[in-house]
């Protein structure tokens, strides 16, 4: 079974739906509505997913690079 967008973004970020809602400043109910396709995911949320992924990558790179500081 293929994962939907919400399941995929939660997996990519390493969070559950509750944490994703907290990170976005929205209700967990909104996340659930998007997951079960009761409402379409708005464009602003899709952009926020992208930004959250970039933020996670930045944190990981910063952590890795800090190991090599002289």
Q: Give the tens place of pLDDT for each residue, 11-32.
A: 999 999 999 999 999 999 999 9
Count up the domains in the chain and report the number.
1
Over pLDDT 90: what percentage of the chain? 87
Can you read off the two tokens belonging to residue 18? 């509750």
Tell me the pTM. 0.84
Which tokens hold the place of 10?
Answer: 């939660």
Is the pLDDT at 2 greater than 70? The verdict is no
Mean pLDDT to the nearest integer, 20-47: 97
Torsion sign, CA atoms 62, 9, 3, 11: positive
Range of the domain at 55: 5-66
Q: Residue 35: how many CB atoms within 10 A of its CB?
A: 18
The SS3 assignment for 44 reads helix
Phi, psi of 16 (to 5 degrees): -95, 180
Segment (H or E) for 32: helix 28-35
């Amino acid at each position: 079974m293929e994962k939907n967008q919400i399941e995929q973004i939660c997996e990519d970020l390493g969070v559950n739906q509750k944490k994703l809602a907290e990170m976005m400043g929205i209700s967990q109910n909104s996340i659930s509505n998007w997951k079960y396709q009761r409402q379409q995911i708005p464009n602003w949320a899709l952009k926020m997913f992208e930004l959250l992924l970039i933020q996670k990558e930045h944190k990981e790179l910063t952590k890795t690079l800090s190991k090599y500081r002289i």
